[in-house]
Structure 1
Amino acid sequence: MELGIALGAVIVIGAVGGLAWHRRLQGRLAALEAELAVQTGEVAELNQRIRRGLEGMGAALWEWRLTDDTIHLSDLFLQITGYGREEFGTSARQFFACFHPDERDEVRGELDDYMARRTVHCSAEVRFRRKDGHYVWMHLRAVGSWDAEGRPLSLVGSFTDITAKMEAEEERDRLFNLSTDMLAVGGFDEYLQQINPAWVRVLGWSRDELMGSPLVEFIHEDDREGLEEAWTVLRQGTPVEGLENRFRCRDGSFRWLSWGSFPYPDRQLVFSVVRDITLQKQSEHQLLEYQDRLRSLTSQLSRVEDRQRRELASAIHDGLAQQLFGIRAQMVLLKYPDKVPNLRDIVIQIIDILDDTMAEARSLSFELFPPVLYEAGLEAALVWLCHNFGERTGIVCACAREGEGPELPEDMRAMAYQCVRELMNNVNKHARAGRIDVTLNYVDRFLTILVEDDGAGFDPNRQERPQEAERSTSGFGLFSIRERLRSVSGRMLVDSKPGQGARIFLSFPQPGEGMSDEPVAAEHFNPRPHFGDG
């Protein structure tokens, strides 16, 4: 009986204790629920702040719930694309249909790979069609969630409008590709990493060929040391301006390039602006060559003047002076009439010597500047020159005219006469010719004179070189003639080969006219196919 009472008491006490424990547990659970509600509110508020922050930075949020294949878009996304929420709905099919056709499969593939966990990150730059039909560039990012068995549940991500950035890059690329300068990005490993089309256009190599070998392999051996020194400076972070070297083209030739390079050591890159200065270098070389020729010409002209003085002095001494001496000797005899049996014969001899002296003086004067040049014109003067030249040298020389035209001004007429005379003297000295033909031709606005001989001929290209011309009187004769013609907008063309004689064309513009770019007058003489500038 007592045992029963004791057990009952224990049961009662246990029940009372259980009720107290249950009340305490319920209180604790209520406190936890209240704390969870607070934390849930804080998380929701934090999520809202994060959403507002992301959208404040231009990130339009979206969620793709894979369980029901619906899309939920933020207000900012709808604002960027121009759609109303009721217009767009929640259809994932409609969402993906708005991607540009060229990138639609790429986006789905990127998302599928990420959801299958074949990739760690999900990011892409895509075009999305606005309501007005235009496309905007978006940077897509997404993070996913999976259930315990690894099945994807949802994707949450953002779209950032990068249209301005992409348009700026397109404009940059357009300028990069259309630039006439050669633009390049290279690495500190001395390989080109990016080049614009100007490289291919100027040098002939393909992009892969240019970027597949170290830069130094394209540089002329004599310029490689300078390139290596430039790389050393660039790796130290110092720009290099005005580096010039010869770059090998695909056809084996070399072109001169000028480099302006700016290093970015943090990225191990060098940005370069490269210009083709081959024509400038050729012009500089031609200018130096021209200056050499002018210096040599000055020396040659000085020697020519000395020779002409000697020839004139010799002509006076051997001709006029001797004749004057003969006249003086005869005149001395007249002082002694009683010793001269026949004064009349002496006077006749004196008159004959005077006639010869006058003729020789006239011939010498004509040889220098014939009065007929100014009195009767250029054709008459050249006819006289050919006649006199033939008698003096034994070379058959003829002058002819084709066409009619106005007379040249006196100064240009004198130049034409001197040029023809110099060419004929060169033939006499160097060509071993038997015949010279001088032909005047009036065509359109030009007077062209052809001087042609059947002599030994020469290589016009060799006569263009200063060192060759310095050893050749004929070479400097041609150079001098050409420069004189250029001073009056005239031109000289040379057609000659060793052993085949020479044909030299002198073109003079008529009064008030300038030379055209084409030697039209020379064509009427039926020149040989190949011409060399004399």
Structure 2
Amino acid sequence: GVTATIVVWQALSADRLASSDSGAPVPLAMLVVGLGFTLLTSLAVHWAATARLREREARDAYQQLAIGAGQWRLAERAKRRSEERFQLVARATTDALWSWDLASGDLWWSPGFYALFRYPEAREERGLESKTSRIHPADRGRVLRGVQEATEGSDDLWSGEYRFRCGDGAYAYVSDRAFIVRDPAGRAERVFGSMIDVTARRLAEEERDRFFTLSPDALCMAGSDGYLKRINPAWTDLLGYTEEELLSRPVTEFVHPDDRAATAEAGQRLRSGEGVVSFENRYRHKDGSYRWLQWRARQVAERQILYAFARDVTVEKRIESELAAARDQALQSANAKATFLANMSHEIRTPMNGVIGMCELLMETPLNPAQRRYADTIHSSADSLLTILDDILDFSKAEVGKLALVSVPFDLRRLTEDILDLFARRAQTKGLELAGLVHRDVPRGLSGDPARLRQVIANLLGNAVKFTDHGLVALEASLQAEEGGRTVVRFEVRDTGVGITAQGRQALFASFSQVDSSSTRRHGGTGLGLAICKQLVELMGGAIGVESVPGKGSTFWFTVPFEVAPDVSLCEPP
């Protein structure tokens, strides 16, 4: 508008000057009127344009305001719906829910809060302090810092665990999770949260950690990369290294070179899913020595973590080594003794057989009663000495594990008849009844070691006859069981002798042991017979025992498993 006025003014001035040159002057009033008209026109145009601009801006502002109001109403409606849903959930659940309005400071608890934490009644509370005052003093600062950082920052979620005072004054461990509602500018307006009681879990974790820390065994967690990830203090006590030293080096660096292959093999078994794996290796101590460790380990496949504990068995290993050395030395001594006894028994047996043979020849010649009595004494004494030599030889062989068994078919009934015939004369001399019974269900043909079986039965029958002064001595064989294709036969030797006390039965099968030392003077013997019987029966896979009543007699029994011989005609004479 101003520019147009200047242009008009310049045009009028030029016209006026031109008129002056021609001699016709322009009136001043006309110039003023023209100028005023032009100025008014320009101002009218400017005011019209400004009015239209302001109208447009007002219309735009109104539209923006309408949009903002609509959004605000939608936001308020959504917030109300959210709060209504929160209230419904709060009334329906037993969890402890809470809501904090930052503008008003109101803090609201759900009914579940009062039930869970044992407070008497639900009420509206002012300020966050009503909650934070119940937090354990040792945890309060940490929780407040976390909530402040969450509300003043941009995160919408906050969580934490802490101790919370219950209505009865006790503290419970709680897990608290909160969601922060913000206005369009990003400022926190309201916080919704839930609290659950995790006291049981935390106490269990504390007990686990306490066990881990205080355990005398070396507990650890190891990764698939061959490094220890966590260890308890027992490792430092055991090996002298610090925790950092043990965690910063691979496990194989500490394992004895000779044990690394076995350790790697145990690791492979764990990775293949074998479950619990036990193994032993030597671990280097910080002083350079090695400790024997006995391991039990298990791998959790989904986490690729190995859990294990190691126990120091260095002392046990040393004792084991010393015992092995002592055992080897004892075996060497026993072998030397057995060799000596075998040689001596053979050396003594040769002249003794000569004495017995000559005595038998002498007894076939005409002798007066006194001479025959002397010859009988010599013969029986020589037989007793041979029996003692046989016992000593068998015992020395058993001591060093040189007693060997054979397995041949034999006729059980013929074997028992032969043994009974052997003792028939001796029993008759003492006025004893000697009886034998093999039950019908016992197979006649068996496969085993008939010589060793004869030796056991003869020893038991000999003792029964020896220690029985009147009455009966009986041998009985019965079928006890059939298992795994084998027949278990039970043998019993019963007598009506003096019997054995309970105290005497305890040491009855020990070497060089007799129930009554006076019996040695009366009947002779070394006390090796029953010990040898026990060794022979156990060597044949059976068991032996005794039942006795003092003054009424005894029953010695033993069991032996045999294979059944299919053809009795093939059985060798025992």
With the shorter chain as reference, the TM-score category is 0.3 to 0.5
Larger radius of gyration: 2
- Normalising by structure 2, we get a TM-score of 0.43
- Normalising by structure 1, we get a TM-score of 0.46
